[in-house]
Amino acid sequence: MQQVSTVSPTQLIQIETMDIQTSSTGESEPTTDLHVTETESSGESTALSDSSNADSHPESTTIDPESWQASFADQFTEGLIETTDRSYRSDTISVTISRHQADDVVYFLADIYLTALDQFRTALAADTFGKGFSEPVLDMSARHNAIVSITGDYYGIRVFGIVVRDGILYRDVLFQDSLILYPDGRMETIPASLFNVDQIKESGAWQIWSFGPMLLDQGHAMETFNSQVNPDNPRSAIGYYEPGHYCFVVVDGRQPGYSNGMTLNELSELFETLGCQIAYNLDGGQSAIMTFMGKIVNSPYNGGRNVSDIVYVGENKMSG
């Protein structure tokens, strides 16, 4: 049985240092999951959401019966923060990490319950948008007091793909399938052929990722994908159950005798089994990393590598 400890938010911001080596291939190496155009990516940003200021998070004094906090009340504490080596529970966030092994595959699942949209965040390397910025996932996670984090879509190695991060539109050039997180907590995957940039801007999207492919069709596993990278690989992906309930999945791979990785078909089937309605593939390969409370959870291929962005969950207000 795991021992449960109760701590204050101040104690939780003391993050341990990274205990793995970064990739010797360098931070500019393109992921094996993408074809990269070596063109400068820059431009002005545009605010899409009123929640874009991550340092200003008003706390509600009453609980709306229709709120996420009421819907998932049994997932949260009544005030104290409870932690184990694989779980975190407060009165606003619940994260549980589990390790799974089947045949020649090992994957890690983060089951996530939130009470507010702005707890679902992203971070950029060097806190700067543009090409040429990359950092270890763990460093970005520590700087932003992430409870749990995974690799993002590695936007920085290409000049195409919609990029909206924490309510800010940085780039509006289409690229294959996109994943959208709306202000009401819903997620949607949209192929480039059906994507309407103007409508998305009007929606006030909180996050948009451009990597893919989409992995589910209305909750059902898919057989064909908008991607040629289907063999066994390390994977990083997001799953959506309903507003306020999400999951992160990281699959270890390219390590014979430990874990070979998953095909897109296998990853799609996994998310169907989990009961997700939406699922989306992010940057994998050597980039596939999950952190929890200041430590790397999985065993990244070749030690992992620097990336341009992460997806993470964090409390609205940290003390200290």
- pLDDT tens for residues 188-209? 999 988 999 888 888 899 999 9
Predicted local distance difference test score (pLDDT) of residue 291: 99
Q: pTM of the prediction?
A: 0.82
**CB atoms inside a 10 Å sphere around CB 142:** 19
Predicted local distance difference test score (pLDDT) of residue 199: 86
**pLDDT tens-digit series, residues 23-43:** 333 333 333 333 233 333 345
Let me know if residue 318 belongs to a domain.
Answer: no
Let me know if residue 177 belongs to a domain.
Answer: yes
Where in the sequence is the domain holding 290, given as residue range(s)? 5-25+46-313
Categorize the per-residue pLDDT at 61 as very low, low, confident or very high, splitting at 50, 70 and 90: very low
Predicted local distance difference test score (pLDDT) of residue 234: 98
Let me know if residue 34 belongs to a domain.
Answer: no
Upper half-sphere CA count for residue 272 (Cβ side, 13 Å): 16
Predicted local distance difference test score (pLDDT) of residue 226: 82
Is residue 310 scored above 70 in pLDDT?
yes
288-308 per-residue burial string, b: 16 or more CB within 10 A, e: under 16: bbbbbbbbbbbbbbeebbbbb
Tell me how many domains the chain contains. Answer: 1
**pLDDT tens-digit series, residues 273-308:** 999 999 999 999 999 999 999 999 999 999 999 999
Let me know if residue 38 belongs to a domain.
Answer: no
Let me know if residue 107 belongs to a domain.
Answer: yes
In whole angstroms, what is the distance from residue 135 CA to residue 305 CA? 8
Predicted local distance difference test score (pLDDT) of residue 65: 67
**What H or E segment, with its residue span, contains residue 268?**
helix 264-274
Share of the chain above pLDDT 70, in %: 79
Let me know if residue 306 belongs to a domain.
Answer: yes
Let me know if residue 40 belongs to a domain.
Answer: no
**pLDDT tens-digit series, residues 91-140:** 999 999 999 998 899 999 999 999 999 999 999 999 999 999 999 999 99
Let me know if residue 242 belongs to a domain.
Answer: yes
